[in-house]
Structure 1
Amino acid sequence: MQMRVSDEDRERTAQQLQHAFSEGRLNQLELEDRLEIALTAKTYGDLLGLVTDLPAEHAPPVPEVVELDSKNGNIKRSGDWSVPRRMRVTSKYGSVELDLSEAVIAHSVVEIELALDYGSAKIILPEGASVNVDAFRSDWGRTATSEVPGRPRPGHLSVVVSGKTKYGGLTVRYPRKRWFTH
């Protein structure tokens, strides 16, 4: 994650490292090395690298809002990643693919705001999730295509997509079924 961290984020990670030391998960030298890095960290990626081998409760919190921005490249998130409560995704010429099917999602509602000029977006949701795409607009491309129910379902993730694209579109679906033969 390239988002810059605050002093509070650094301090929180330092406390998590000290807690891991008190539990016997880190020795004195490991604690000192990691604390030095934590207190000088610039991005969330720097902090995450310090706690990836510790139990999840020692990981730095996911920021409330994450902004992803690309002028020419594609934006893609997939696999095991932490989804924030709100995402703002801006892409001038590239496409966007957000695969939430294997992600860690701590919120019952996730808001995704898309600002696309010449690209399209694909959002893959975990089974059972719902999506509201009513606030997404396309000037010249196709409008939002969703294979996912639009009405929120109790106990399941609900995603709200807003924003617009000038020449692209939006597709929302569940993961494709994989058929294996033996």
Structure 2
Amino acid sequence: MTSLPEDPPPLFGEDDRDTAVQRVQEAYAEGRISHEEMDEHLHQVLTAKTHSELVPVLASLPQENAGTTSTIAAAGGRIKRRGEWRVPRTLKVESAFGRVHLDLSRAVIEHPVVDIELQLGTGRARITVPRDAIVDVEGLHTGWKDTLYKTRGRSRPGGPRIRISGTMGFGRLKIRHVRR
């Protein structure tokens, strides 16, 4: 009786590795791991060849604080946040019919990365971000109109990273950096 050779462990792509590196860096930036732990985790991620070598590294990262997600929801009407307000790590905005205006220009942003998840039916959304913010709209899906956003030519280091994701049905999202 001959035994069949075992299948080699599945390899993973550079996108998986990049995602793992980003998770380790975010854990460090949010103060959940020390500098030494970050170095150790990054070394393990960068030298891993299979998923089975990568999974324990990511599983050992401390979980985010549960209190860092907030949801703003309205069936119709306006959702508006402006002035000095505290921005959570993850902000979910849900509106079936209406306008959304989030002004982060004077907001208190304590996290290096802020995720804004939009679930909008119809209506427009406008987001004003700090001058030095880096905006990522890769995770946003629009149904009818495109997103209006021009990336800034040069951003000063140290600004927050604003990641916008979710879905918009029949509205338009306009993102702008504050001028002052």
- TM class by shorter chain equals 0.5 to 0.7
- CA distances 1:78-112 after superposition (whole Å, capped 9, x unpaired): 00100000001000101111000000110111000
Find 1:91's aligned residue among 71, 95, 98: 95
TM-fit CA distance, 1:152: 7.7
Alignment TM-score, normalising by the size of structure 1: 0.59
- CA distances 1:33-64 after superposition (whole Å, capped 9, x unpaired): xxxxxxxxxxxxxxxxxxxxxxxxxxxx9940
Q: 1:76 to 1:166 in 2, by over 3 A?
A: same
Q: Which amino acid aligns with 2:79?
A: I
TM-fit CA distance, 1:69: 0.3
**Over 2 Å off, 4+ runs:** 147-154
TM-fit CA distance, 1:176: 4.8
| Corresponding residue of 2:171 | 168
Find 2:70's aligned residue among 60, 66, 71: 66
Instruction: Decide which moves more: 96-105 or 151-160.
Output: 151-160
| Alignment coverage as a number of residue pairs | 116
Instruction: Give the number of the structure whose alpha-carbon radius of gyration is greater.
Output: 2
User: Distance in 2 between the 1:63 and 1:78 partners?
Assistant: 21
1:128 aligns to 2:132 (yes or no): yes
User: Distance in 2 between the 1:151 and 1:168 partners?
Assistant: 29
Q: Within 5 Å, which residues of 2 pair with 1:38-77?
A: 63-77=67-81
Find 2:116's aligned residue among 108, 112, 117: 112
Report the RMSD for the aligned CA atoms in angstroms: 2.3
The question of whether the paired residues in 2 share the 8 Å contact of 1:73 and 1:95 is answered with yes
User: Distance in 2 between the 1:84 and 1:101 partners?
Assistant: 15
Structure having the higher strand fraction is 2
The question of whether the paired residues in 2 share the 8 Å contact of 1:116 and 1:164 is answered with yes
User: Distance in 2 between the 1:138 and 1:128 partners?
Assistant: 25
Percent identity reads 40
Q: Which runs of 5+ in 2 are unaligned?
A: 1-64
Q: Which runs of 5+ in 1 are unaligned?
A: 1-60, 178-182
